[in-house]
Amino acid sequence: MYTASDQNIEENIQRQHFALETLGLTHKDAGSQTYNERQELISNSCFYLSLAVSYLCGINALAVWDAKSLTDIEEDDRLLLEAADKTLIDQTALQLKRVIEAAVLSAHPEWATDGMVGESVQAFSDFLVYILESRSLVADWAVVIFDSISGFVDVYKGQHYNEEASNTLTLRYIPGHYQPLVVTPDSTRPTLSQIIQVLDESSVVYVITDGTSV
């Protein structure tokens, strides 16, 4: 039996599901482990791996992740493509980890000794706040994170985001884990204004954070 609060959360989640379907976004899993520059295993990297996959899918840089390109591929060729995709994803995720965590530690150097930032420490979307006004690639993005627990949506908009370029990254948060949200084969990556329109029409609660609101 739902309490009023439970019922509200369930309704929020249902509205979020409807919005995702309308936008043509579906979640996949990018894993949580990658390697650093010394080829040492890094765990708890799902946030950076999800960012990397969402970005690379958006620019059509991945072969196997793009469902539209999987027709008539021989098994040996598929394995080669999967390996190439994995290498590119890992490299991109590591670069993002280094850039974002450097910005976080520049603002909060004590977080390294406090264990809030580290090689295998779980990152969270709030880290994006510290890089929205940077000169990095992340400042060109709008990162939209769908929280599956509350049904709410957090939007982090970089100061150089260009609506016409559609540099919109979409992620899903489930308890303790992030996953990339990628477009279905018959959909195109939505712009931020398109996402906001659908969220409004679906009555999904969202918050936008940009450089001016930090």
pLDDT of the residue at 72: 65
DSSP three-state, residue 41: strand
pLDDT at 201: 97
Predicted local distance difference test score (pLDDT) of residue 65 = 63
Instruction: Kindly report the backbone phi and psi dihedral angles of residue 184, in degrees, each rounded to the nearest multiple of 5, phi listed first.
Output: -70, 160
- Residue 1's pLDDT is 34
For 29, residues 6+ apart whose C-beta sits below 8 A from its C-beta are 179
β-pairing, 177-183 vs 25-27, is antiparallel
Q: Which tokens sit at 119?
A: 């090689």
Which of 44, 43, 142, 49 is closest to 88 using CA atoms?
49
Q: Indicate the number of domains in the chain.
A: 1
Whole-number Å distance between alpha carbons of 42 and 210? 30
- Joined tokens for residue 203: 């009555």
CB atoms within 10 A of CB 41: 11
The residues with which 171 forms a beta bridge, in sequence order, are: 145, 180
**Per-residue tens of pLDDT for the chain, all 214 residues:** 334 455 688 999 999 999 999 999 999 999 999 999 999 999 999 999 999 999 999 888 888 765 555 566 677 777 888 889 999 999 999 999 999 999 999 999 999 999 999 999 999 999 999 999 988 889 999 999 999 999 999 999 999 998 877 789 999 999 999 999 999 877 788 999 999 999 999 999 999 998 655 4
> Which ranges constitute the DSSP H helices of the chain?
4-23, 46-58, 75-107, 110-113, 192-201
Domain of residue 35 covers 4-213
Assess contact for 156 and 132: CB atoms under 8 A: yes
CATH code, domain with 63: 3.90.70
